[in-house]
Amino acid sequence: MDDRRVGAALRAVRIRRGWRQEDVAARVGVSRSTISNIERGHLDRLSLATLRAVAAVLDVRVDLVVRWRGADLAGLLNAGHAALHEELARAFRERPGWEVVPEVSFSIYGERGVIDVLAWHAATRTALVIELKTVIADVNELIGNVDRKRRLAPRVAAERGWDARAVACWVIVAEGRSNRRRLAAHAAVLRAAFPEDGHVVRSWLRQPDRPIAALSFWQPRGGAETTRRIRNAGRRRVRRAAARSAGDSGG
């Protein structure tokens, strides 16, 4: 992050709202000097949690962007995602009546994004928004993103000539201990947002009879070996990148 730019932005929003530093500090539960340090760009003096709390009070979203060796970082993150895409594509080939399109980008009234997989069942005019997650980081962000894509899905489908009568969503999470722990910690919230599980989805895919919202872990046909391939795809990229780095420094 550009610390000074972040601080200046938060200060501008505070002033626009007509608040003093003391007002923000009281709402967050920190000292006025903490707000002053943030606005001057001294972010190394506080925790990320405090910065997010201040931003939330001001109704500002702060995104942390990680960069490393340009496209190499995208490769690390996308390896497992691509493997999960491949597994899902194979599974849908055996589902008659479904058309599947990966990585569908959209830009509607300033809202931009990518639907990981958009599936279409012509017989019932049902669009299915599929979100693929190899790693669960922010549960609230996940719920918000899926809800936004589901809301925009009829317009996205219409751009492909699909007149959707119903829209469903399915969050697919890669198998793994960390993901299971993360989801277990937020089980009540996630089940409220996505009531159906994998068993319901399997039956529903044969005959989509209603809009559903589902979340399930992906059980690859290849069993444990394929699960490890999806989970470890990024690790192999890390080792290759480390080897390249060592070679560069050794030259």
Backbone angles phi, psi at 89, to 5 degrees: -60, -40
Band (pLDDT 50/70/90 cuts) for residue 200 is very high
Q: Residue 30 pLDDT > 50, yes or no?
A: yes
Instruction: With residue 87 as reference, give the H or E element that holds it.
Output: helix 71-93
11-14's contacts with Cβ under 8 Å and 24+ in sequence apart are: 11/39, 13/58, 13/59, 13/60, 14/39, 14/58
**What are the pLDDT digits (tens) for 221-240?**
554 454 455 455 444 544 55
Secondary structure E strands in the chain? 98-108, 111-121, 126-133, 166-174, 213-218
DSSP 8-state secondary structure symbol assigned to residue 20: -
Cα–Cα dist 57/20, whole Å:
13
Residue among 174, 170, 166, 152 at smallest CA distance from 105? 152
Average pLDDT value for residue range 119-147: 91
**What are the pLDDT digits (tens) for 153-184?**
999 999 999 999 999 999 999 888 888 988 89
Cα–Cα dist 14/136, whole Å:
32
The domains located in the chain, with CATH, are 3-57 (1.10.260.40), 71-239 (3.40.1350)
Backbone angles phi, psi at 212, to 5 degrees: -125, 160
Average pLDDT value for residue range 48-59: 91
- Of the chain, the end-to-end C-alpha distance in Å amounts to 31
